[in-house]
Structure 1
């Protein structure tokens, strides 16, 4: 692997204020620094254009328009860009861009997404800048990450380090709300993961205590629906041999069993919505429900939905089995069923992921940036990187630093774009020269 010999220049070198006395960076990596600094106005202008184009997940033309903007950035760099139409899944599509190198280095997958949680009816629609901070819908999640990918690749192209690199960029158009069926919605990303040796994911950078942190693990997510049933009748007979306990007590028993018996490190189980009565039902979207009943009627049906988050496939499988065991211990005259729906697989903290972080920290050391510690996976949500974690080593959270993701007033630290683009450009260039 190519080693640069930059001594402790600190963050000033990373921001190209000027090389420190005695620093002797490898020429190509020195060119990366200069190129990224010079290109920062382009990066910020691109970010503004991307943010001002609404691309809420359900705004299919808007998501496609953002994809077209990114296509215009990548094709001049030598990428073969393809739009994968996904309207059959209820979503716009994905952008897949491939750069063919010399085949001698690691194959590198870069992951981000084009969509945001802000639909066209949201009042939060425009980019606004105040010094080194900017606000806008999706500015950090994930348009800042997309801009970092583009900025790193533009710098590599200018420095000559992109020429021999085998890189695939996959920007999904439905990360915030995946299309259905999920297998079809993520088929292209999974295929890219099987092609790759390593994957870098450009969701937001975690900054805590003034220090950047790296993400080498994410918990997976599985949604679940619990339905309890019972005999209905006059409440004077509840607890008795004829009516038993009713659906609401059965639902409460099960959920309390989950609360008492399941908690362990990195495992959480949330109950998001519950309804019970005679009758009771959820709407088809699972986000609303209705129930009827009276104080003197034993509930006939109760339904609850929620999610299960686990760090490893083994932890998730064990939790599912324990949940089913709790469900099976029915109260008299009641029944219950528990159904799971896969959402995001776990991204476990593997040795390969940690080795990739070690390579990034060598880059940090060579650039005079602080070493990055692992971030607690229980403090992060799920992301598309989990779909490739079974096939490639993954380093996540390579995007922009900011705050208030998914909320009006979402912000990004513009200086972090330059810092992250530099880290990425150097890391990708070194990986591209490392035999697979």
Structure 2
């Protein structure tokens, strides 16, 4: 027997499936690559309009170098009460000149840029809030909604804002796409994006003898770097290399772009120590190496607080008639920053789908409103637990 509140939420959402899909199409068809400020600013206008129709306070935050961002709040949140923070991003990985722009659907799936990552997640959050508002359940709950425009490039502008709004919150819910098995995310690896620069001495390749080749030194370092992969705690990839000016010249400069992931703060420390050791070791005489960090997110361990949120959400899923597995995900999100504050966070609450960051990206249509119902019931359950605890 479905409890009365759950039934009321489902009764609100069920006849609005088409409406939710139409909103998803509207958002997907706005080209909003992370560097496309005009497109992101149009997204911000539409998102603020939607939130303004649900919450008593919704505003656009202007940014000069990045797309504008949006913040919405219930009245208790606007008064400064700490409660639940909902986070979703409006940008996609697809640049302004992409040919992948169309939204399409069949009986089971929707396709389009950002449909899974993560405009579908935004629609889930909005319809969860719509249902709670309609039932009068938001009047006492402090809820803050943050929609940023730079997540796919590491959230350089929005990170301080997200951390400021999330600090001291009871909980945070993040709307990256759900797992293929209907999973939600209780843990994520951390990430470091780095640049390795090797300098040697230029010379004529025909002269032979000892040569301070930057490329040769980089080759030694690539082998050492790839050797840091341990199968679980640390994964590292050398994804791009450049160097030299021609086959008959000893290369003076060589560079590599690195991506490293780690499960825990201890793993991060061990990774950083090994990176420093590899960068300092000189295998080819006359060369020197520098390692610089371009971007990063801390690890999001499967903490007690995160798993407690999952337990609350899983209970709501059971009341709605299904199970809700947890997932440890290698990819990063803004949930990593929030976890770094010590705030319990549950991620992957967006619709179920796959193949994000490709032109085959999709979601399962039925999961859009199903996840909205899960989110709505989880918000109320988190608040009720906090009030009774």
TM score, norm. by length of structure 2: 0.92
Deviations 1:294-352 (A, max 9, x none): 34x43322211112111223211220111111222212222212122233222222111
Q: 1:233 to 1:59 in 2, by over 3 A?
A: closer
> What's 1:216 paired with?
186
Q: 1:100 to 1:431 in 2, by over 3 A?
A: farther
Q: Is it true that 1:333 corresponds to 2:310 in the alignment? A: no
Q: Equivalents in 2 of 1:24, 1:254: separation in Å? A: 59
Q: Is it true that 1:127 corresponds to 2:127 in the alignment? A: no
Q: Is it true that 1:401 corresponds to 2:352 in the alignment? A: yes
> What's 1:158 paired with?
134
Q: Is it true that 1:140 corresponds to 2:91 in the alignment? A: no
> What's 1:300 paired with?
252
What is the 5 A alignment of 1:337-356? 337-356=290-309
How far does residue 252 in structure 1 lie from its aligned partner after superposition?
Answer: 1.1
- Larger CA deviation: 149-158 vs 303-312: 303-312
Q: Equivalents in 1 of 2:153, 2:286: separation in Å? A: 39
How far does residue 96 in structure 1 lie from its aligned partner after superposition?
Answer: 0.9
Q: Equivalents in 2 of 1:37, 1:106: separation in Å? A: 31
Q: Is it true that 1:260 corresponds to 2:227 in the alignment? A: yes
Q: Equivalents in 2 of 1:412, 1:261: separation in Å? A: 35
Q: Equivalents in 1 of 2:311, 2:143: separation in Å? A: 21
Structure 1 residue corresponding to 2:336, chosen from 370, 376, 386: 386
> What's 1:288 paired with?
none
Q: 1:74 to 1:236 in 2, by over 3 A?
A: closer
Q: 1:410 to 1:335 in 2, by over 3 A?
A: same
Q: 1:335 to 1:156 in 2, by over 3 A?
A: same
C-alpha contact 2:300 2:335 (8 A) present in aligned 1? yes
Q: 1:60 to 1:104 in 2, by over 3 A?
A: closer
C-alpha contact 1:126 1:136 (8 A) present in aligned 2? yes
> What's 1:430 paired with?
381
SS of the equivalent of 1:319 reads: helix
How far does residue 229 in structure 1 lie from its aligned partner after superposition?
Answer: 2.2
Deviations 1:127-157 (A, max 9, x none): 2221232222211111110100011011111
> What's 1:374 paired with?
326
C-alpha contact 2:228 2:234 (8 A) present in aligned 1? no
Deviations 1:227-254 (A, max 9, x none): 22223334466564xx4x5222211111
Q: Equivalents in 1 of 2:35, 2:287: separation in Å? A: 40
Q: Equivalents in 1 of 2:29, 2:221: separation in Å? A: 47
TM score, norm. by length of structure 1: 0.82
Structure 1 residue corresponding to 2:72, chosen from 97, 103, 109: 97
C-alpha contact 1:401 1:416 (8 A) present in aligned 2? yes
Q: Equivalents in 2 of 1:80, 1:376: separation in Å? A: 34
Unaligned runs of 5+ in 2: none
Q: 1:388 to 1:333 in 2, by over 3 A?
A: same
Deviations 1:194-216 (A, max 9, x none): 04221111011111xxx311211
Q: 1:83 to 1:409 in 2, by over 3 A?
A: same
How far does residue 48 in structure 1 lie from its aligned partner after superposition?
Answer: 1.6
- Larger CA deviation: 74-83 vs 361-370: 74-83
> What's 1:363 paired with?
316
Structure 2 residue corresponding to 1:205, chosen from 178, 191, 196: 178
> What's 2:54 paired with?
77
Unaligned runs of 5+ in 1: 1-22, 278-291
SS of the equivalent of 2:246 reads: coil
C-alpha contact 1:113 1:172 (8 A) present in aligned 2? yes
> What's 1:418 paired with?
369
Q: 1:46 to 1:320 in 2, by over 3 A?
A: same
Root mean square deviation of aligned Cα = 2.2
Q: Equivalents in 1 of 2:328, 2:266: separation in Å? A: 19
Q: Equivalents in 2 of 1:259, 1:122: separation in Å? A: 32
Q: Equivalents in 2 of 1:239, 1:249: separation in Å? A: 14
Q: Equivalents in 1 of 2:336, 2:52: separation in Å? A: 27
SS of the equivalent of 1:139 reads: coil
C-alpha contact 1:105 1:435 (8 A) present in aligned 2? no
Q: 1:337 to 1:104 in 2, by over 3 A?
A: closer
C-alpha contact 1:136 1:411 (8 A) present in aligned 2? yes
Structure 1 residue corresponding to 2:159, chosen from 179, 186, 199: 186
